[in-house]
Amino acid sequence: MADSGILALAAELIGQTRQSDADWNKLEGTAQALANSLRVKNKSSGSDTVARRLSSDNQRRLTRPARARCLPPPALYETLRVGANICVDHDENRGHLLESGFLHALVTLLERYTDLIPPDKATDFLPLSVAHLKVVRTAIGVILNASLGYEPVKIALNTAEAPVAILRLVGAIYPAGAWARSPAPHIPPEEFDESWQLRSGLSSWAWRAIGELKDNASTVFGPDTLPQLVTPARSFIPPFGKPSQPFNSATPLRRTLVSADLEAFEESCSLLEALALDDEDVRLSLARGMAFPDEHHGVRCLADILEFIDRGDYHPLWTDLPGDNAQRERSFDFCKAALIKAVVEIAGEAKNVDVLWDDSDQKQPGGALVAQMIQWIKTHTDLKDNNRDDLLVCATLTLGNLLRHGAHSVTLTSPPISIAPDLAALLRPETDIKVKHGVIGLLKHLAYAAPTRAPLGEASIIKRLVGCNIFQPSSDIAEMVQVNAIGVAKHLCSGNAKNCYDLTVPSEGQGPETTGLHQILSLVKRSDTTAVKSEGTRVFVNFSSPRSRPAQLVGRSKKYPILVNEGIVALTLLSIQSANIVLDAITTPLPHEIGSPVTAPGRTVDTLAHLLRRHQANVPEEVRANACILLGQVGREGGVDTERMPELAKLKAELRPLIVSAADAEKESRLKTAAVGALQRWG
């Protein structure tokens, strides 16, 4: 239609009086013609002029209570179509709709529909006629079209809490999967197909609008929206009963509904994950709801999520859908992973530990959530017969987060739970790295507590850890898992001779290269990661050989003060038992290493001298002070054998001026105190 025709229709629409049914019918016809004309993409159609002239008129029409009550749904529907079509790919018109207040009026309209939802039935069918369904769907369509890629509208709609109103409506108008259980008997037979088409289409538009707005809506959604977000996952929990009539055959309508369920499921899982990651109130509310269902008006949100993770499966009706079923299965798996991440985050909230951990029932130590996680682990230790890595990942990471704050470790390693043998059974070479990540992380938290080290040792955790190849080059891609594995070994070997033996002594018939200690040393040597080198070096404080490795770390890590410090601390602890060996380690020339710079110090003592000689901004004073403590410990009276005294005298002669210089500093400091102490020990 030409520009003049569109403008004429707009003028007619604005100028019409609405006092009788005939007037409303005329308005409906005019709006319909205008909306149809605006569907034609034509930059010169004058739609921006139409937008300016219509926006304020439509805003008044929607927001005045008297007119809102008498505006018939068909006329309102066609008027909304004008708004939807006028802002398609047109930021200027979107701005006009926003400035006029039209979009805020739409939010008010949607909120009036939400008032029809019974408070205790927020996820049941909301009976609406076809005419009203068209109004709601089109109002959401306007919001979707206006917000696509246009930040000012997104910000305004989030401020008005439009996503919350949309979510509440879609949860009541189209509860995902409910059509298969009950085809809504309140729908008149003559409207049945059209009603379900509108409901499913409304769901699609609603979730697209929520998805478009959610990146700006971190403060909009809260705990009160959780029941609507959890509902879509229920339709993927078996048993999948055969749909009742008229959905008992693969009609186009049924395929539409199955597709709508999947879309709702994908979007709701994404939003649940985001809220669990970003919103503390949501994490706290989900945890409270585990014990108190009234938190969510009787909806067991977290329990429902756990049930889905446990039993949720691909829907059998997907086979009727066109396209790639494998892609749908991948999408389903991503959604389950998102909910697993949400559960792990809930357990990781420090304020939730006392809420989720319940010791009131001696038969179920830890409470319902802990019992569920323990059951998943114990049930699926046989990896050949049970391909449920998802449950193992969820359970181990969740329990690890609950233990992260230093409590309850003994409960898991003591009867009746006694989880250590089950975790040991999961440490195999063929175990997926994601499962190893969860198991090793949980073991690290368990090993923090000294009372757990004996039962973990009895389960041969060290041997299983070494045998699962986590320290081998094939696992180097998962360096943080390796760091945690080293941490497990470090804690278990602290004050426990059996665990130290398991780490350092090869099994019968195997060479020393198979020991955990040798594997960790090899990992430290080939790794370029500070965390691996640092954590690996700390293992040395708990056993006696090979003692030259910390010295090599000090000598070769001048660029990395934190690694130098770790090596110094390890050497200091070793010198308590044998200053002779440490003296050898720091004065013997370092073995040649491929790739080492020519200017690298030849001995570890050269690095110590370098630290004391020059103050560098990147070297903390603590490192220089620790170097003085190490030298004082090695040179203490009676520390080395008589035949080693000449070598010690040379060391003292070389380094004494540097230590004296540090001790004579005017300003008190940790370095000065350590230097004075070293000289006193030397005598």
- DSSP category for residue 20: S
Total domain count for the chain?
A: 2
Reference 611, options 653, 661, 669; nearest CA is 661
Residue type for 657, please?
P
For residue 407, tell me if it sits in a domain. yes
Give residue 9's pLDDT. 43
Least confident residue range of 48-62, 139-153, 354-368, 376-390? 48-62
Amino acid sitting at position 547 = R
Q: Both tokens of residue 647?
A: 């070598």
In a domain, 314, yes or no: no
Does position 259 have pLDDT exceeding 90, yes or no?
yes
Same domain, residue pair 604 and 658: yes
- Among the candidates 543, 567, 601, a domain finishes at 543
Question: What pLDDT score does 639 carry?
Answer: 84
**Helices H / strands E in the chain, number of each:** 36, 0
Shared domain check, 599 and 451: no
pLDDT of 405 above 70: no
Most confident of 213-222, 391-400, 600-609: 391-400
Q: Indicate which CATH number applies to the domain containing 472.
A: 1.25.10.10
CB atoms within 10 A of CB 52: 17
**Residue 24 falls within a domain, yes or no?**
no
Instruction: Tell me the pLDDT tens digit for each residue of 142-156.
Output: 999 999 888 999 999
What is the structure's pLDDT at 79? 85
DSSP assignment letter at 598 = T
Residue with tokens 């007037």: 23
Q: Which residue type does 533 have? A: K
Q: Are 196 and 179 in contact (CB under 8 A)?
A: yes
Query: Are both 492 and 581 inside the same structural domain?
Result: no
Instruction: Inform me whether the pLDDT recorded for 121 exceeds 80.
Output: no
> Helix (H, G, I), strand (E, B), or coil: what is residue 428?
coil
Provide the 3-class DSSP secondary structure of residue 590: coil
Q: What is the mean pLDDT of residues 162-170?
A: 94
Element (H, E) at 229: helix 226-234
Q: How far apart are CA 524 and CA 344, in angstroms?
A: 30
Identify the CA nearest to 338 among candidates 283, 276, 401: 276
d(CA 74, CA 130) in angstroms, rounded, equals 10
Q: Does 464 map to a domain?
A: yes
- Does residue 91 sit within a domain? no
205 domain-assigned: no
Q: What is the 3-state secondary structure (H, E, C) of 257-322?
A: HHHHHHHHHHHHHHHHHHHHHHCHHHHHHHHHHHHCHHHHCCCCHHHHHHHHHHHCCCCHHHHHCC
pLDDT band at 183 (very low <50, low <70, confident <90, very high): low
pLDDT higher than 80, residue 554: no
522-547: average pLDDT: 71
Q: Say which DSSP state 366 is in.
A: B
- Residue 406: the pLDDT is 66
Residues 623 and 489 in one domain: no
Q: Which residue has the higher pLDDT, 490 or 593?
A: 490
pLDDT above 70 for 543: no
Q: How confident is the model at residue 617 (pLDDT cuts 50, 70, 90)?
A: confident
pLDDT 10s digits, 411-440: 999 999 999 999 999 999 999 999 999 999
Residue among 555, 495, 488 at smallest CA distance from 520: 488
Q: Say if residue 519 is in the same domain as residue 628.
A: no
User: Same domain, yes or no, for 571 and 458?
Assistant: no
Last residue of a domain, one of 501, 522, 543: 543
Q: Are residues 378 and 437 in the same domain?
A: yes
Average pLDDT, the chain: 83
Give the C-alpha separation, 539 to 447, whole Å: 14
Is 58 in contact with 31 (CB distance < 8 Å)? no
Same-domain check for residues 485 and 405: yes
Structure-model confidence comparison of residues 504 and 247, the more confident one: 247
For residue 52, name the pLDDT band (cuts at 50, 70, 90).
low
Of the candidates 633, 492, 508, 517, the residue with the CA atom closest to the CA atom of residue 575: 633
Q: Is the peptide bond before 421 cis (omega within 30 degrees of 0)?
A: no
Which residues make Cβ contacts (< 8 Å) with residue 199, sequence separation at least 6? 133, 173, 174
CB 500 within 8 A of CB 481: no
Q: Same structural domain for residues 524 and 554? A: no
Task: Provide φ and ψ at 149, rounded to 5°.
Answer: 70, 15
Name which of 97-106, 215-224, 381-390, 407-416 the model is least confident about. 215-224
* CA–CA separation, 663 and 666 (whole Å): 9
530-555: average pLDDT: 62
Q: Are residues 483 and 389 in the same domain?
A: yes
Domain span at 384: 357-543
391-417 in b/e burial notation, b at 16+ Cβ within 10 A?
bbbbbbbbbbbbbbeeebbebbbeeeb
Q: Are residues 436 and 481 in the same domain?
A: yes
Q: What is the pLDDT of residue 49?
A: 52
pLDDT at position 553: 60
- pLDDT, tens only, 305-325: 999 999 999 999 998 888 888
Q: What is the average pLDDT across 279-294?
A: 91
Same domain? 391 vs 463: yes
3-class secondary structure per residue, 520-570: HHHHHHHCCCHHHHHHHHHHHHHCCCCCHHHHHHHHHCCCCHHHHHHHHHH
Q: Is the predicted pLDDT of residue 25 greater than 80, yes or no? A: no
Lookup: tokens for 199: 């409901």
Inside any domain, residue 44 = no
Residue 11 domain-assigned (yes or no): no
**What's this model's pTM, rounded to 2 decimal places?**
0.77
Among 376-385, 462-471, 593-602, name the one with the lowest average pLDDT.
593-602
Domain boundary among 486, 511, 543: 543
CA 619/CA 564 separation, integer angstroms: 10
Q: Which residues pair with 358 in a beta bridge?
A: 366
